[in-house]
Amino acid sequence: MLVACGGDALANPWQIEIGSAAADTSFGVAATPEGDVVVAASTEGEIAGDHAGKRDIYVAKISVDGDPEWEAQLGSEAGESPLGVSVAPDGSVYLGGFTDGAFAGENAGSADVWVARLDADGTEVWRRQFGGDGWDRGFDVTAFDGGTYITGYTASTLDAATNQEGFDGFAARFESDGTMEWIRQFGTDAADWGQGSSLAPDGGLYVTGYTEGDMAGEHQGDKDAFVLRLSPTGDEVWARQFGTPALDWPQGVGTTNDGGVVVAGSTTGDLDGPNGGDRDAFIAAFDESGNPLFTTQFGSSAADSVFEVRATNDGFVATGSTTGEVASLAPGERDGILAWFDVDGTRISIEQVGGAGIVDFTGLDVADDGVVFYSGSGPGQTDGDTDIIVGGTPGRTDG
């Protein structure tokens, strides 16, 4: 079910809510080659079919004007969470996440990783599931011309040659027919989580996440941020580690217009301080060779995070959440934010959207024509617990 939704302070052409009578949450959106958007979400109810069990996968294509074009619901008797979505140049939709059951084969133990391909009209082409006897979680998906990457973290041995023990990050590359081309683990003998990913200019992959060890430098304390570049064949090109004595946790990453990389996350330290309070948001950029360009930290006296970041025509945009006052004098319990930056990382404006209850903006993508799409979740307006939020805006509104 879809309903129109007013945007509070958000000046955009459209924002809709999608939901069932249960809990529905989106973690990602992806722009299509023709400028529309695909949203991936989890549902505990029935939006586009019978509920299979626990959390189902919900995926829909929405036009640039906010009109639904197709939708599908997939799942097993256990729970599936779609944490990543990406659209290839041919319009194929790739999804990925983790499952507690047998979504695409026998469960290897605990949570397994899954990745699936739909064609441009939403018809499923294939699905794959893999893991070990430990806990394995797919976190992000990045499509390319001819297939997709999936990244995440694992407590298993997914690749004996690169297993580092403990929790490792991983990246895997799949061809368009569902054949796994390669898989690599990376990290230290401490805890390392691979999270966001984006396509490098040579067709390889940028990956971000956190490490509690000496992955690419001396560990600063608690969790350090890292960004890693892999070649198309899975070889490490370079890795960078940065942080404070406190917690530094990037989750999102985007490729810059000149082929570099920008990461987004949160910090409880003084990464580009001083810290505004409980937890601040940050973005940090590196050039194609891994040289640092800028770090921008911002926030209120409460808890602030950014989850995803993308390059725009004239800078960057990030999605996140705040429990404080970053752009509103009447914040809700937790509000969604869109933050805008120039090409040097200077914050230009920020938009805060909320009201009663909890609103998070987690998904983000920018179409070739500059339209910014975002997704998240908020209090249900479709008689449910939480609903999926999807929106589109042509660009920054100063404020």
Q: Give how many domains the chain has, as a whole number.
A: 1
* 124 lies in some domain: yes
Q: What does the DSSP assignment read for 179-211? A: -EEEEEEE--SS-EEEEEEEE-TTS-EEEEEEE
pTM exceeding the 0.85 threshold for the entire prediction: yes
Rounded Cα distance between 73 and 48, Å, is: 5
One-letter amino acid of 343: V
Residues of the chain above pLDDT 90, percent: 85
* 324 lies in some domain: yes
* 316 lies in some domain: yes
* 39 lies in some domain: yes
In 3D space, the residue among 265, 259, 261, 228 whose CA is nearest the CA of residue 243 turns out to be 265
Residue-averaged pLDDT of the chain: 93
* 2 lies in some domain: no
Residue 303 is given by DSSP the state B
* 342 lies in some domain: yes
One-letter amino acid of 195: Q
Looking at residues 34-62, what average pLDDT do you find? 94
pLDDT score of 10 more than 90: no
* 233 lies in some domain: yes
What pLDDT band is residue 384 in, cutting at 50, 70 and 90?
low
Domain CATH for 96: 2.130.10.10
* 392 lies in some domain: no
Task: Write the pLDDT tens digit of every residue in 152-168.
Answer: 999 999 999 999 988 99
Q: Determine the structural domain holding residue 206 and report its residue range.
A: 26-360
What pLDDT band is residue 9 in, cutting at 50, 70 and 90?
very low
Task: Write the pLDDT tens digit of every residue in 206-236.
Answer: 999 999 999 999 999 999 999 999 999 999 9
Looking at residues 255-262, what average pLDDT do you find? 98
Rounded Cα distance between 94 and 176, Å, is: 10
pLDDT score of 328 more than 80: no
